[in-house]
Amino acid sequence: MKAVLYKDLQQVRHNGAMLVVVIIGITMPLLLIAGITPMGLDAKAGGTMLQFAILSLTMGLAPTLSLDAIRDDLGNGTIVAVRACGRPLRQYFTAQLAYAIIPITALSLALMTFAYLDAPVLRTNIAGPRGIVLAFTPTLASLALYFWSIVIKGKALIMTTTTLVPGVRADGSADAQTGTIGTDMSGITADSVASSLRPPLAIRVTDMTFGYKRDRPVLEHINLDVPAGQSLGILGYNGVGKTTLFGVITGLLRPQGGSAAINADVFHSMREVFQLTDSGNLSPTMTIRENLKFRAMLYATHDDPHPIDLRHLDQLPMIQAFELGEHLDKKVRDLSSGLKKRAGIVAGMLFDPRLILLDEPTNAVDPVTRQLLIDLMKQLKADGRTILTITHDLDYCWEVTDRVVILDDRHLIKDCRLVDFADIDDFKQAATLGRGRAHVDFGLSR
């Protein structure tokens, strides 16, 4: 997949330490081999020098190409972006495998060719079976590290699942025929007609239990229906599993019991689902422009090869609204927290999602960014988008959400509509579960 390879190469280009390691990993073997003939080494000593050269190439490149890429992608939201574009995850694995073994294999073969031409004493060994084994040693090492990184560092990738299910209905069943009313009018009741007029479900979570360790559940027996077009706030104290719930809904985490489903009759592809992570789904070593190009390459199709105008990014309304034009060529890691949040939101919204999952979008942002986000969510809600927001910002909930649910002690303990509260103070009292304390003794008084 070209997009993943593009991202990997840009990350190496922008990472000074990694670039130095790569250069040393290539230069050192060349110098070792180039010194064999001038030093007058015999075949045995020259063979030892060649082995050191291959070892140097392996140690310099294999960890960089095989380990760092997947580990970084898990941390910076790239995996979320790849899944959101609707492509099967196997394409990501294939691209990373190519990135891990093709460059190091080509360099190893080039190094052996150079040794064969530059050091005549090595030609007999290089042309034999030992030379072939030595030539592909870096490839085998890189391949081993690649699989190790998947099993150990990226084992969460293997646990991803598909949650896009057709015909999700309020009774928990899934109807392959999309659950529409047929021509047979027999047996139709007032309740069934009223039910057919309700918005279809966007998301259904049924008796879902999840834990990172089987005997320590983070969430237990969660039941949650989200109608299409609703703006839902997900509240709860730190560590109760709010972000974990998002992971289960989008299929990044596989539940131990129960199920979570996104209605494929409402959202026809994961391309219509946008999840904002803590990282903003942006690679920190790449610029905003490069991150947007990576996203555009992910979302490109034969019918729509250019989903956004990369040549005139600064003229796009979303870029202008969030005032990112002058920051497009800055690395994400050099941006303030507010600008990172703006860039992450823009990176997802440019591809017109219908289901939007935001994880603490107003956390650590300035008042202007917060108000921009609130205004955007209000417009999206008016446009019929389905929005789920994990937040501690109760004022944001009051302005943006139709409904809130509260998680506590592994369970969903409260589910209420905003219209049921007399005022914001009444809502805040309910949202904090009555745990607010006016007087706290910190032991500072004398």
pTM for this predicted structure: 0.81
pLDDT at residue 178 is higher than 60: no
Give φ, ψ of 412 to 5 degrees.
-90, 110
Same domain, 245 and 142: no
In a domain, 79, yes or no: yes
Q: Write out pLDDT tens, residues 373-385.
A: 999 999 999 999 9
Number of domains in the chain: 2
When comparing pLDDT for 160 and 367, which is higher? Answer: 367
Q: Find all residues with CB under 8 Å of 2, minimum gap 6, and list them.
A: 95, 297
In what side-by-side order are the strands of the sheet with 201-210? Answer: 164-165, 257-263, 201-210, 219-227
The pLDDT of 198-206, averaged and rounded, is 90
CA dist 342 and 336 (Å) reads: 10
CA dist 309 and 296 (Å) reads: 9
Same domain, 78 and 210: no
CA dist 388 and 248 (Å) reads: 14
Same domain, 207 and 147: no
Give the C-alpha distances (Å, rounded to integers) separating 120 from 40, 44, 53, 79, 127.
11, 12, 16, 48, 11
Q: Write out pLDDT tens, residues 147-165.
A: 888 777 555 566 677 788 8
CA dist 76 and 79 (Å) reads: 8
pLDDT at residue 182 is higher than 60: no
pLDDT at 279: 74
Q: Which of 126, 156, 186 is the endpoint of a domain?
A: 156
In a domain, 192, yes or no: no
CA dist 338 and 420 (Å) reads: 33
Helices 16-34 and 89-118 sit at what angle, rounded to 10 degrees?
Answer: 30
**Nearest to residue 3, comparing CAs of 295, 418, 410, 320?**
295
In a domain, 270, yes or no: yes
In this prediction, residue 27 has a pLDDT band, given cuts at 50, 70 and 90, of very high
In a domain, 196, yes or no: no
pLDDT at residue 184 is higher than 50: no
Q: Which of 141, 156, 171 is the endpoint of a domain?
A: 156
Same domain, 301 and 416: yes
| CATH number assigned to the domain comprising residue 318 | 3.40.50.300
pLDDT at 394: 93
pLDDT at residue 186 is higher than 70: no
The pLDDT of 386-408, averaged and rounded, is 94
Same domain, 403 and 344: yes
In a domain, 362, yes or no: yes
pLDDT at residue 295 is higher than 80: yes
Same domain, 33 and 140: yes
| CB contact at 8 A, 209 and 255 | yes
The pLDDT of 134-148, averaged and rounded, is 91
pLDDT at residue 16 is higher than 80: yes
Is the backbone of residue 411 left (phi > 0), alpha (psi -120 to 50) or beta? beta
Q: Find all residues with CB under 8 Å of 438, minimum gap 6, and list them.
A: none
CA dist 236 and 233 (Å) reads: 10
CA dist 308 and 288 (Å) reads: 14
By the 10 Å C-beta count (0-12 exposed, 13-18 middle, 19+ buried), 419 is classed as exposed
Same domain, 239 and 386: yes
In a domain, 179, yes or no: no
Same domain, 317 and 427: yes
Q: Which of 156, 189, 214 is the endpoint of a domain?
A: 156
pLDDT at residue 272 is higher than 80: yes
**Cβ-count burial 388-401 (b if 16+ within 10 Å, e if not):** bbbbbbbebbbbbb
State the residue for tokens 């391309």: 271
In this prediction, residue 193 has a pLDDT band, given cuts at 50, 70 and 90, of very low
pLDDT at 343: 93
By the 10 Å C-beta count (0-12 exposed, 13-18 middle, 19+ buried), 128 is classed as exposed
In a domain, 176, yes or no: no
By the 10 Å C-beta count (0-12 exposed, 13-18 middle, 19+ buried), 101 is classed as buried
**Nearest to residue 243, comparing CAs of 343, 389, 86?**
389
Same domain, 146 and 212: no
In a domain, 174, yes or no: no
Same domain, 142 and 226: no
- What the block records as the tokens of 284 is 């920190």
- What the block records as the tokens of 323 is 């005032």
Residue range of the domain that includes 264? 201-431
pLDDT at 157: 64
Same domain, 135 and 273: no
**Nearest to residue 341, comparing CAs of 332, 350, 331?**
332
CA dist 64 and 104 (Å) reads: 10
Same domain, 99 and 228: no
The pLDDT of 21-30, averaged and rounded, is 91
When comparing pLDDT for 368 and 67, which is higher? Answer: 368
H helices of 169-316, in order, are 190-197, 242-250, 288-299
The pLDDT of 244-269, averaged and rounded, is 91
pLDDT at residue 196 is higher than 70: no
